Amino acid sequence: MRGDAPILPLRLEDLAFAEGGRTLLEGIRLTLRGGPPTLVLGPNGAGKSLLLRLCAGLLAPTSGAVRWTGPGAAMARPPRHLIVFQRPVMLRRSAAGNIAHALAVAGVDGAERQRRAEAALDRFGLSPLAARPARALSGGEQQRLALARAWALGPQVVFLDEPTASLDPAAARAVEEAVAALAADGIKAVMTTHDLAQARRLAGDVAFLHRGRLLEHGPAHAFFDAPRTAEAAAFLRGELYW
Amino acid sequence: MTRITRRLAALAVAASALLPALLLAPGALAGDRFITVASTTSTEQSGLFGHILPQFTRESGIGVRVVAQGTGQALETARRGDADVVLVHDRASEEAFVAGGFAEARRDVMYNDFVIVGPAADPAGIGGMADAAAALQRIAAARAPFASRGDDSGTHKAEQRLWTAAGVDARAASGTWYRETGSGMGPTLNTAGAMGAYALADRGTWLSFRNRQGLAVLVEGDRRLFNQYGVMVVSSARHPHVKAELGRRFADWLVSPAGQAAIASFRINGEQLFFPNAVRVTAR
Amino acid sequence: MAEGAFAEALGLVLGGDPEFLSIVALSLRVTLSAVAIAALVGLPLAALLAVSRFPGRQAVVVCCNALMGLPPVVAGLALYVLLSRSGPLGELGWLFTPAGMVAAQTLLVAPIVVSVGREVLEGVWEESGEYLRSLGCSRLRAVPTLLWEGRFGLLTAVLAGFGRASAEVGAVLIVGGNIAGVTRTVTTAITLETGRGNLALALGLGIVLLALVLLVNAAAFLAGRATRRAEG
């Protein structure tokens, strides 16, 4: 649970990833610490999703390392960090059932599962939908359910890959509020987005990627008000496309 | 609610899977006193067993399970020890079986006869002939279609003996007018009827056969058409697990007055199919 | 012939003849048992095959697919040789009994359940594998999740197996021996009545068999639709 020994800071040491002869990420040196959300920004093809997957352990880097350096890093179960995708995977069960299943995989037993699933649904305003088939929910509801599911597992870090990209503005705001709720509960959110306004609202610090390289990393207000690199400035003006 | 549905569904599946298994458990079937008799399809299809076996079971309390196969397969089944008693109608094979040590002896039980059936139009003109071999000669000469069982059964072997007596090598014409179906008596008659072909059939199967399709008995009564049935009990010396005692009781019953009377009383449309001819043994 | 057959079928069903009822009951017992055993063993195997990668996996998949075409009469013959008193498993005493018939049909049904099941579950794994692994789910732990997740496709696989078993005659004829009252099923009875020339009765039995299979499939369809509505 969140009260356990922390796994952060997360250090990326000279991280690189290549596939099919093409270098997609190169020389990434980054330290992520606990606190408000870190937004990973950059134009298309910058390598944002790739970076998130590497951090979440779904891919192995070609060279360099992803190192959790906190005292609790050695423990593998239950998962201390989770990832939520742009289109969440929903199992063919009810909304509550999806959360319960994730808890079961994490080794939580019967009665406790029920309690935590209900708490998660409640926290994210999904209680009325508890018995509905998860796949029948709207895009925004499914995304909030994915966040509720992640929250229920009690991780320290949640990676979010463009969580609102395929949602209408109203749903997007609802999901954004859910992310803010995660952060309010002390979970470190590391998120990618195309929506600069959203980034401004959520970010504690910003990591800016361009063509596989990390160009900037720093406090949000510093990035948005006075970007150090020309690319970042162009990006903020909306002039950097890839 | 969905969790409960799931639990119930799981229980239903488990129950329906277990129930048949329980029903199939050994000993769940009624009566462990039974014997397995390997016999021929022609005997089974005539309906004889349905008539005489209930009487035996009533008198002895021993159930009889008949596995009906071709004569060759029935003897093979007995040879492998998968049957306790074998009842077939091919004396030469039966004597070889005894000689091989698979049974102690063979005993005559009953006989019936073969008939030559054919299309009503009778292209070979054999209707009413008294000499079966001569009739086959005419069929060969006319190259009229003939459906043979072709399965090394007792009937098939009798048919082959007739061709030999007629001096005709029918096998050489296989695929032309001589057609080997490789199947039992009934299926062969089905085929003969459909092809308008002649065939050699045992009278038992013929009388109970329901799909004659215009076939009729054309030749009968020749002594060479005589078909003898013999019973053998599989030797427990060869196969210790064989139910020799129960099997012997069945074989003894078949040749006893009671069994012989049961065989004689089996009729179809008032006509007797099998004629008991067991030799009365006064001393053992 | 056709009206005769339907009349026979109706007569059998309405007449309640004990011999007829016993062969229908035996057919259902043997086939349902075989399908149950094949599913219990085959579905988890299909799941394991879907998620694992090991040298020779492709060969296993190809062999399993090929076994779907195993001729029933060959399966029956193989089992006959094994179960014969002169054979290695003769001690079981399963020859000419329903137990032997169940074994033969299980041999025929299992490859279908495993092959079709594997195909279904590979799709499910592709859909949700990344998510499950992100939860720290091992491949082994994923098996029950996949089985439930793919339940609708797996039901089709099981029904395909049921169809194959209820239709076949070669295996149950050789291993069972078509003994009246003991190992006579609808399909072997059809063979017998055809051999007797009772074509109308044989066809009537065939109609009854088709109706049974239709009933089972309809029941499965309705059950599937009900769960789909309830749980998505």
ipTM: 0.87
Task: For chain C, positions 46-75, list CB contacts with chain B under 8 A.
Answer: none
**For residue range B214-248, what is the model confidence (pLDDT) as tens digits?**
899 999 988 889 989 999 999 999 899 999 999 99
The tokens for C156 are 């089709």
> Tell me: the pLDDT tens digits for B175-215?
889 999 988 888 899 999 998 999 999 888 888 888 888 89
Query: Residue A97: pLDDT above 70?
Result: yes
Q: What is the pLDDT of residues B125-151, one digit of tens each?
A: 999 999 999 999 999 999 999 999 988
Cβ–Cβ of B1/A93 closer than 8 Å? no
What's the residue count for chain C? 232
Q: What is the pLDDT of residues A4-38, one digit of tens each?
A: 788 889 999 999 999 988 999 999 999 999 999 99
Which of A105, A132, A145 to probe the C interface (max C CBs under 10 A)? A105
Q: With H, G, I as helix, E, B as strand and everything else as coil, classify residue A240.
A: coil
Q: In the prediction, which pLDDT does B13 show?
A: 63
The answer for residues whose C-beta is within 8 angstroms of residue C177's C-beta and 6 or more apart is B65, B67, B68, B69, C95, C96, C183
Mean pLDDT over A123-139 rounds to 94
Of B204, B258, B274, which is closest to residue B55 (Cα–Cα)?
B258
**A150 to chain C: nearest residue by CA?**
C135
C36 and chain B in contact, CB less than 8 A = yes
Reduced to 3 states (helix: H, G, I; strand: E, B; else coil), residue B273 is coil
Number of H-type helices and E-type strands within chain B: 11, 12
Which residue in B5, B21, B41 is closest to C33 by CB distance? Answer: B21
Q: What is the dihedral of CA B136, B139, B141, B144, to 10 degrees?
A: -150
On average, the pLDDT of chain C sits at 91
Confidence at residue C198, expressed as pLDDT on a 0 to 100 scale: 84
Say yes or no for a CB contact (<8 Å) between C29 and B20: yes
Q: What value does the mean pLDDT take over residues A75-100?
A: 88
Q: Dihedrals φ, ψ of A114, to 5°?
A: -55, -50
Amino acid (one-letter) located at A6: P
Residue C61 is predicted with a pLDDT of 95
Q: Is residue B1 within 8 angstroms of chain A, CB to CB? A: yes
Residue B230 identity (one-letter amino acid): G
**DSSP one-letter string for B236-258:** TTT-TTS-HHHHHHHHHHHHSHH
- What's the gap between Cα C37 and its chain centre? 9
Asked if residue B214 lies in contact with residue B192, where contact means CB atoms within 8 angstroms, the answer is no
- d(CA B1, nearest CA chain A) in Å: 8
Angstroms from B234 CA to nearest CA on chain C: 13
CA A178 to chain CA centroid, Å, is: 12
How much is the mean pLDDT over chain A?
A: 91
Q: Which of A225-229, B14-18, C174-178 has the lowest mean pLDDT?
A: B14-18
Chains A, C: CB contacts within 8 A come to 52
Burial of C160 (0-12, 13-18, 19+ CB in 10 A): middle
The Cα-based distances of B192 to A104, B149, C163, C202 in angstroms read: 68, 10, 33, 19
Q: pLDDT tens across B74-102, in order? A: 999 999 999 999 999 989 999 999 999 99
Residue A74, Cβ neighbours under 10 Å: how many?
Answer: 9
- The rounded distance, in Å, linking the Cα atoms of C17 and C21 is 6
Measure in Å the smallest separation between the Cα of A155 and chain B Cα atoms.
26
Interface of C with A (CB under 8 A): 127-128, 130-137, 141, 145, 148-149, 151, 230-232
CA distances from B62 to B8, B53, B54, B174 (A): 44, 10, 10, 45
- Calculate how close chain C gets to B130, using CA atoms only, in Å: 28
